Chain A
Amino acid sequence: MKYTEEHEWLREEGDVMVVGITAHAAEQLGDVVFVELPEVGDTISKDDEVVVIESVKAASDILAPLDGEIVEVNSAIEDEPGKVNDDPEGEAWFFKLKVSDASPLDDYMDEAAYKAFIG
């Protein structure tokens, strides 16, 4: 697992990267009430606003962690946004990305570094 400073996690699964948000991020957001995911087939660039997530408090954008193509999205969390609070690092993944440039991965944190980052 790799982690970004935007509180996303990335998990390699075969030739795609699964992306979601961390338990820490979900906790900070509070109860999630709305998620808008990209479309399968979308080509995205690093730092694009790729997911919109709204909690009882506010709307937040999730930025694309890498360049690539969206190959699968987790529509279940659009129907039941509360899953993001229940299991953010498991069942409530956001999308799967076919990565076209993996080089930023080197800059992302491992679990120990992320734990230190969030204090």
Chain B
Amino acid sequence: MGELYRTELYDLHVALGAKMVPFAGYEMPVQYPMGVMKEHLHCREAAGLFDVSHMGQVILRGADAAGALERLVPVSIKALAEGRQRYALFTNEDGGILDDLMVANRGDHLFLVVNAACKDADIAHMRANLTDCEIEVIEDRALLALQGPDAETALARIAPDVADMIFMDVAVVASDFGELWVSRSGYTGEDGYEVSVEAAQAEAFAKALLAMDEVAPIGLGARDSLRLEAGLCLYGNDIDTSTSPVEAALEWAVQKVRRTGGAREGGFPGARRILAEFRNGASRRRVGLLPEGRAPMRAGTMLFAGAEGGTPIGEVTSGAFGPTIEGPLSMGYVTTAQATIGTTVYGEVRGKRLPAKVADMPFRPSTYKR
């Protein structure tokens, strides 16, 4: 591994006592002195501040940027209203997933947030295929997420207008910390915001939030257990180039207009396979799993239909202990025959087959402000 990048908030993380780890080429805080479990619960009960500046922020401009982007994603971008954001997937010719991302319509341009580990490839992919667009990579802004039931109260002290936003709204608001690019979204299943702030103002902005009683800093450890309880995919674990949107149970991300019979049917990489899977189903499916005991079933755990014998029917792709559900939880892929909610499957943990029930996701109801 080469030199690790540092975000604008590196010094603040260290000053807060964070344990720093390499993640997607960056030195990032995995936890603070509060610890993963308490950080997770704090985010669910009050508000948590996350540094997600390692993610890529990209502006796409063009006479028909929405139409252009639709060539790379099986998602309706043209119908995305100004001031709104939507989840999207870059697919490849095999129908696999290159990355998942957020796309916002900000009037005269689109604003994209992509995964840190994929951002260089995503940008190259867009430059190669969207020659009719201007692609601007935003390098001078940090990205912070403020999540939890008190997120609105906290952020509204700095920018009162954010209280009026609803889930997946985006807005540009003025503040003492310069212009904030705000979306009401996140990766925890909680109500909350992601806020892009000028790099030079990022530390002061973060400190202003952390000075509030409700707000505590949250590391990558709790970010993972929070998103897992919310049933949200982690790119590279739960979805990747070997998984299709239908296998990944992300049908909801592909609007009808892009499916067979829709007005803008197909026209994205891998459309042949992906649309066929919409019609005929896929042979396997991403499901939630609730182990019956206390032992977590972590990524890589092989899954079986029975307590003995047989060949694997799938594999766990993410697994942890869920502090809010107070038990272990996993997600993974199983053959479609075993994908029905309530089915018992068996994970092989340290040589023992342990039962787990296929469960509905999110594991814990999300609390987005609709």
Contact = CB atoms under 8 A, between A and B. Distances in A.
A88 to B, nearest CB: 14
B36 A34 contact: no
Contacts of B294: 33-34, 78, 81
Contacts of A31: 35-38
B298 interface: yes
Interface residues of A, number: 13
Contacts of B295: 34, 36, 52, 54
Interface in A25-57: 30-31, 33-34, 36, 52, 54, 56-57
B31 A30 contact: yes
Contacts of A33: 37, 294, 296, 321, 328
A34 B321 contact: yes
B221 interface: yes
Interface residues of B, number: 16
A58 B30 CA distance: 13
B290 to A, nearest CB: 15
Interface string A72-116: 000000100100000000000000000000000000000000000
A56 B221 contact: yes
A58 B21 CA distance: 15
A36 B294 CA distance: 9
Tell me whether chain B's interface is mostly helix, strand or loop, or mixed.
mixed
A58 B350 CA distance: 13
B298 A57 contact: no
Interface in B319-370: 320-321, 323, 328, 350
Interface in B107-129: none
Contact of B36 (A52, A56, A78): A56
Interface string B288-305: 000000111010000000
B7 interface: no
Contacts of A30: 31, 35-37, 221
A1 interface: no
A31 B36 CA distance: 7
Contacts of B37: 30-31, 33, 56
Contact of A54 (B31, B38, B225, B296): B296
A52 B293 CA distance: 14
Interface string B177-211: 00000000000000000000000000000000000
Given A34-B294, A56-B221, 9 more contacts: A30-B31, A30-B37, A31-B38, A33-B328, A36-B295, A54-B296, A56-B37, A78-B294, A81-B294
The 10 closest A-B pairs by CB, nearest first: A33-B321, A31-B37, A56-B36, A34-B294, A34-B295, A31-B35, A54-B296, A31-B36, A30-B36, A56-B321
28 contacts: A30-B35, A30-B36, A30-B37, A30-B221, A31-B35, A31-B36, A31-B37, A31-B38, A33-B37, A33-B294, A33-B321, A34-B294, A34-B295, A34-B296, A34-B321, A34-B328, A36-B295, A52-B295, A52-B350, A54-B321, A56-B35, A56-B37, A56-B321, A57-B221, A58-B298, A59-B298, A78-B294, A81-B294
